[in-house]
Each structure stands twice: as C-alpha cells, then as structure tokens.
C-alpha cells in the first residue's frame, strides 16, 4: 500500500444525467499508469522546489532567471492540462498521497473499514514557525486521512462537516510520523471520526471530525 488501499470498490452509485456520472468523483479511476512511470519523480521534484522556495533568499538576478524558467515550465504544462477527473493527481494509488501534490506526503501502511494508518512526513515547505509544522498543514493531513477512513467505512465518498484538531505538542518537519484515523461511531450518513498524530510515543495532535456520506449524485 502507498497512497490508498488497493482492494476497495470506490464508486458510489450516481444518476445518469450528471457530467461525471453524478456525485463527487463518482467515477473514481484507480490508476497506476496515468501521468507515466516518472510521475512520482515529477511530483517529488516540485515538492523539493517548494521546499527550497520556502527557505531561499534569491538575488534579484537569480529571481529573474528562475522566473523566466518557470514561465517556460508553465507554458509546457499548459499544453497538456486536463480536467480534475482525468488528472493523475489524487488517483495514483501507487504514489505517496495518491500523487496529490497539495497534500503532505503520506504512505498508507494499513487501511480498511476499521480505519487507516499512515506514515506522514511534513516537509520544509510545511514550515509554520520556529522549525515546526504549520497547524493548517496538520489539519490537511487529518482531513484527507479522516476522509479516507470515512470513505473506506461507507465504500463511497464523504465530505467534511466539521474538523477539530487539538494541537497537543509541536509537530516536527522532515520526520516520519504516524497518523491514524478511524470511524468511532456511525449514525446513518454521519461518520464520527477520530484520529491521532504521533512522533514515536509522543502525541503531536488529535482529531475529532464529522464526515457526511454523500447521497448518490450529491456534489
């Protein structure tokens, strides 16, 4: 397992008249080849660039140079943009965070109806202040992996209704951390999800969230 469990049926039922078959990612293609064999490396290079941008203090000359090169990269990518339903980002289950560059990189170590365990590493890009992770990025990790626990529990898609993160101690950067999420209670479409983030035995943060399983065709 890397970005998501592989053996789960994801597609919730959807009406026929919707552009995507209805619903939120109703036709969720699990892929390991979209974007090519080096897509993971591509994402990793961009992450590394973002890490460096977070700490770089370029000279005006270097900024000029990098801006021109970035314009060229952006123009290249402009030639092959696709809609969200066809991008590799978010569906490449063989890659950390399913190849989704907007998420902190995590690898799923176990996942099913009972919950999800993952190893997550916040990067230099995720700096909040004084060398530790920004709380918002911690919440992003909880949202995605809490949503995954809910999705695995209902075999469909759930949206976050509320998400409370308690920051119990500082969350380090560039350190493998253990993030766990699980559905503690289900009441119809309401999934009460809990979660923890640890560095070793030390609790960095915990989660209390409500996810709502979407009805067929619901956006």
Mark 20-34 as b/e (b = at least 16 C-beta within 10 Å).
bbbbbbbebebbbeb
* CA 34 – CA 86 distance, rounded (Å): 8
Does 190 contact ligand PKZ by CB under 6 A?
yes
Q: How far is the CB of 199 from ligand PKZ (least distance, A)?
A: 24
Closest CA to 196 of 149, 127, 153: 149
Q: How far is the CB of 26 from ligand PKZ (least distance, A)?
A: 12
Q: Which residue, chain included where needed, has tokens 């996942």?
A: 111
Binding positions for ligand PKZ, 31-90, rule CB under 6 A: none
Q: Which residue, chain included where needed, has tokens 């923890």?
A: 196
DSSP 18: S
Q: Which is nearer to ligand PKZ, 132 or 157 (CB)?
A: 157
- List the structure tokens of 16: 């026929």
Q: How far is the CB of 23 from ligand PKZ (least distance, A)?
A: 11
Binding positions for ligand PKZ, 106-145, rule CB under 6 A: 143-144
Q: Are 194 and 184 in contact (CB under 8 A)?
A: yes
Q: Which residue is nearest to ligand PKZ (CB)?
A: 147
Binding positions for ligand PKZ, 90-109, rule CB under 6 A: 91, 93, 98
Binding positions for ligand PKZ, 144-163, rule CB under 6 A: 144, 147-148, 151, 159-162
* CA 64 – CA 83 distance, rounded (Å): 31
Using CB under 6 A, pick the residue from 14, 28, 103, 205 that binds ligand PKZ.
28
Q: Please give the residue ranges that form the binding site for ligand PKZ (CB under 6 A).
A: 4, 10, 28, 30, 91, 93, 98, 143-144, 147-148, 151, 159-162, 188-190, 210, 212
């Amino acid at each position: 397992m890397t970005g998501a469990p592989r053996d789960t049926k994801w597609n919730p039922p959807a009406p026929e008249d919707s552009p995507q078959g209805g619903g939120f990612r109703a036709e969720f293609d699990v892929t390991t080849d979209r974007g090519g064999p080096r897509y993971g490396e591509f994402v990793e290079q961009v992450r590394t660039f973002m890490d460096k941008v977070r700490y770089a203090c370029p000279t005006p000359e270097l900024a000029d140079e990098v801006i021109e090169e970035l314009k060229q990269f952006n123009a290249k990518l402009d030639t092959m943009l696709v809609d969200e339903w066809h991008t590799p980002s978010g569906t490449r289950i063989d890659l950390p965070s399913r190849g989704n560059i907007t998420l902190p990189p995590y690898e799923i170590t176990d996942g099913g109806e009972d919950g999800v365990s993952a190893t997550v590493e916040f990067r230099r890009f995720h700096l909040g202040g004084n060398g530790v992770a920004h709380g918002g990025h911690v919440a992003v990790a909880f949202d995605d992996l809490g949503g995954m626990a809910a999705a695995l529990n209902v075999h469909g898609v759930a949206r976050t209704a509320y998400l409370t993160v308690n920051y119990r101690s500082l969350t380090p950067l560039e350190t493998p951390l253990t993030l766990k999420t699980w559905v503690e209670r289900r009441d119809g479409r309401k999934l009460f999800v809990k979660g923890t983030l640890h560095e070793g035995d030390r609790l960095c943060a915990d989660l209390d969230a409500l996810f709502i399983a979407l009805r067929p065709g619901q956006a």
